[in-house]
Amino acid sequence: MQRFSAFFPLRFFVFFLILLMITACSSDPEKKKTDHYSKAMVYVQNHDDKAAIIELRNAIQIDPKYADARYQLGLLYLKMGDGKKAFKELQRAGSLDPANTDARLKTAEFLLMARDKKGARKETQAILKQHPDNIDALALMANIELIDGNFDKTESLLNKALSLDPKLDRLYSIQGRLFAARKDFNAAETAFKKAIEVNPDKLSNYQILFLLYQSLGKKEKAETTAGKMIDKFPDNPAPRIQLANLYRQNGQPKKAEQALITAVDKFPDNDRLRLILADYYRRTNQVDKAEKA
């Protein structure tokens, strides 16, 4: 009996030790993944995106269903311009955590860009069913309806969105496209100008107005808008390329050439601009200049 009594505490101790080890093993992964995630967020705040990506990948390797980590990883890929990886992570994040509306919205936007209108519509409708006043979802659905030619539905969605937030420039851009689709070009011009008024710091707001003028053959207005873009966004070569294309379209080769030369001088390390200039020379049978560009 004494042997049993002496052995029992030892056996109990061993059992307790094993239990502690099992508990530690099961809790360690949870702690490790959150540690990786926390480190990643610090790196994000310090703008060290590559280090953040490594930490998020480590967290996901521990827990493939870690929705927050996949979401943040998707945002980083999006920031870095890797759309394919961004879509994969954001789609996974949205499926793991349906409450993450932003992940689901971005997934729907990717689907629309990939011309999967059916998938984009399904995802956006699901969001609106849960959040009928979500402005981004309303804007996206309006865009989908516009692409599908459902102009009345587009207008209804835009009116609702504008009543909720009349200072969202994207809504006026969609509205301008709606008016243009209806051949009401004066109203389209007004809407695009309103988008610029609401957000004068977004290049695309000027670009869509420029494209309207260009498509309508309003040369002076297009040129003026291009000039405004160049002044407003001096470090972006895109407006200069658009101005050169405008001159070429209008049969002004000398001005087109000069616009491209000025762009190359402004951005000497931009290989794409040099290729555009060289291509321009080839198209205009200036082979010698093309070789030097």
**Tens of pLDDT along 92-112?**
999 999 999 999 999 999 999
pLDDT at residue 5 tops 60: no
Residue 20 burial (C-beta neighbours within 10 Å; 0-12, 13-18, 19+): exposed
- Best CA proximity match to 71, nearest among 31, 27, 41, 111: 41
- Cite the residue boundaries of each domain of the chain with CATH code 1.25.40.10: 30-97, 103-199
Which two three-digit tokens encode residue 185? Answer: 């070009």
Q: What does the pLDDT average to over 249-275?
A: 95
**What Å distances lie between residue 223 and 86, 180, 209, 230, 241, CA to CA?**
37, 20, 11, 11, 12
CATH class name, domain 228-293: mainly alpha
Q: Which residue has the tokens 């995802």?
A: 123
| pLDDT for residue 69 | 97
CATH of domain 30-97: 1.25.40.10
Average pLDDT, integer, range 234-248: 97
pLDDT band at 29 (very low <50, low <70, confident <90, very high): confident
Q: Which of 38-52, 76-90, 165-179, 271-285 has the lowest mean pLDDT?
A: 271-285
* Angle in degrees, CA 53, 201, 106, rounded to 5: 40
The pLDDT value given to residue 264? 95
Q: Say if residue 192's pLDDT is above 90.
A: yes
**Taking 80 as the threshold, does the pLDDT of residue 1 lie above it?**
no
* Span 146-154, average pLDDT: 98
- Residue 221 to residues 141, 218, 227, 243, 245, Cα–Cα distance (Å): 31, 6, 10, 12, 15
The pLDDT of residue 27: 58
Q: Give pLDDT, residue 8.
A: 47
- pLDDT, mean of residues 22-34: 71
The secondary structure of residue 237, as a DSSP letter, is: S
State what percent of residues in the chain have pLDDT above 70. Answer: 90
Mean pLDDT of 33-61: 96
pLDDT for 21: 54
pLDDT of residue 7: 46
Q: What is the CA radius of gyration of the chain?
A: 28
Q: What is the average pLDDT score of the chain?
A: 92
Q: What is the pLDDT of residue 23?
A: 52
CA distances from 77 to 42, 71, 81, 202, 226 (A): 17, 10, 6, 22, 31
Phi, psi (deg, nearest 5) at residue 237: -75, -15
Lowest mean pLDDT among 27-31, 267-271, 275-279, 281-285: 27-31
* Best CATH choice for the domain 103-199 from the list 3.40.47.10, 3.40.640.10, 3.40.50.450, 1.25.40.10: 1.25.40.10
For residue 198, which amino acid is it? V
Please tell me the predicted confidence (pLDDT) of residue 290: 77
pLDDT-derived band at 85, boundaries 50, 70, 90 = very high
Task: Provide the terminal-to-terminal Cα distance of the chain, rounded to the nearest Å.
Answer: 99
Burial tier of 107 (Cβ tally within 10 Å: 0-12, 13-18, 19+): buried
pTM value is 0.82
